[in-house]
Structure 1
């Protein structure tokens, strides 16, 4: 069973997943990065551009999902280096530091809350420009207009986006639009209306994006 709650870290989500069926559901692109706890290991999930399908038997996971663009400052690694990857935290931080953190999470009654506390201790203040970018893209604003509002050129905004999100602002905008459409479809909105309200040209456009990001159809996803 999957459960989540808002984190005390701004914009983040604390979650646990204890599978009860045949396996774990695919993790879909959402513009976020996660700090994970799984079978005694601390891992980092980088930003996805396609569905990630966990390997192995269904076992419990705990995690902290960061607000888009905020994890790289805490981890001290550019997001594009982790794109479509799951890596052990020891690949990013000194092994001795990770051992101490791992022991702390292992001793905690709730590993997900322990991950949240670790992040709260190390988190940097959010970048207002990146927050504005995410909000504006989610509202469907053009990238060039957002760059002008921020006083940045499109190329400079692209470079900053690679570091913060793992990909450029146009890809982030597509992923945020896909997530909007998925939320609407899960509420039972017909696919054509979902496409229109989420900002797609038509239902076929929505279907192409779903196929590219997930490798399947919207109908299969909703099942």
Structure 2
């Protein structure tokens, strides 16, 4: 029997700032790049939590494995899950390991009973999100994306604007993102740079545009975070 393979699709989820994505595996190995996000995944009828990654996650799945996921914005998932991000760094764990068996089973039953499990995942997760975004986390993200941490004194500047010590800021970032502010900066800016590179822009120009010292610096950082140099990764 031939198994139909559906391409990766993504759209805005009902949870503010999150995305709903679906795909059917082609079979074989795959590579997930670190992006500062955490996902609640429905994999062939089971709920799995994908923690934040500090390096590329590699795995494999049989052809036809169906995936649907809610990708939370960086820093948003710990409040929903009730678990600090640092405890899930580079981990994939069943949701039942984080919640009570009854609570996770009830959510899974509601999703499985729907004619469209991906849509049900989106709806049911949105119903359970009842905490407003952490203003401190939103502030950190705005400043990281604005380039404040690009310099050597960026962390101390950010901590001072918030009224925290660098140690306090680091601890808050570990709980929200799974890693400290400098690592968060590396991960988010690498993804910005790769997005530019995917448009066909020369890697040297990408490095200049996104604040790397030079193309060699960009290449080293991408290889450290993904296991592959940019040319191989994009190719």
Matched, 1:71 2:77: yes
Does structure 1 conserve the Cα–Cα contact (< 8 Å) formed by 2:27 and 2:60? Answer: no
**TM-score, normalization: structure 1?**
0.95
Q: Aligned residue for 1:154?
A: 166
Does structure 2 conserve the Cα–Cα contact (< 8 Å) formed by 1:133 and 1:146? Answer: yes
Shift in Å, 1:23: 3.7
Stretches of structure 2 that go unaligned for 5 or more consecutive residues are 1-6, 149-153
**TM-score, normalization: structure 2?**
0.90
Stretches of structure 1 that go unaligned for 5 or more consecutive residues are none
* Aligned pair partner of 1:208 in 188, 203, 220: 220
Shift in Å, 1:153: 1.5
* Aligned pair partner of 2:142 in 135, 145, 165: 135
Does structure 2 conserve the Cα–Cα contact (< 8 Å) formed by 1:30 and 1:175? Answer: yes
Query: Which has the higher Rg, Structure 1 or Structure 2?
Result: 2
Shift in Å, 1:113: 2.2
Please, what is the CA RMSD of the aligned residues?
A: 1.3
SS of the residue corresponding to residue 208 of structure 1 reads helix
Q: Aligned residue for 2:151?
A: none
Q: Aligned residue for 1:126?
A: 133
C-alpha separation between the residues in 2 aligned to 1:56 and 1:8? Answer: 28
C-alpha separation between the residues in 2 aligned to 1:38 and 1:24? Answer: 16
Which whole-Å deviations, capped at 9, do the CAs of 1:177-223 have from their partners, x for residues lacking one? 10011100001110001111111111111111111111112112112
C-alpha separation between the residues in 2 aligned to 1:105 and 1:220? Answer: 38
Does structure 1 conserve the Cα–Cα contact (< 8 Å) formed by 2:39 and 2:51? Answer: yes
Does structure 2 conserve the Cα–Cα contact (< 8 Å) formed by 1:17 and 1:61? Answer: yes
Which runs of at least 4 in structure 1 moved beyond 4 Å after TM superposition?
none
Does structure 2 conserve the Cα–Cα contact (< 8 Å) formed by 1:186 and 1:222? Answer: yes
Q: Aligned residue for 2:10?
A: 4
C-alpha separation between the residues in 1 aligned to 2:182 and 2:140? Answer: 11
C-alpha separation between the residues in 2 aligned to 1:192 and 1:128? Answer: 36
Cα distance change of structure 1 residues 3 and 24 upon mapping to structure 2, 3 Å threshold: farther
Which whole-Å deviations, capped at 9, do the CAs of 1:142-186 have from their partners, x for residues lacking one? 222222221222111110001000010110000011001110000
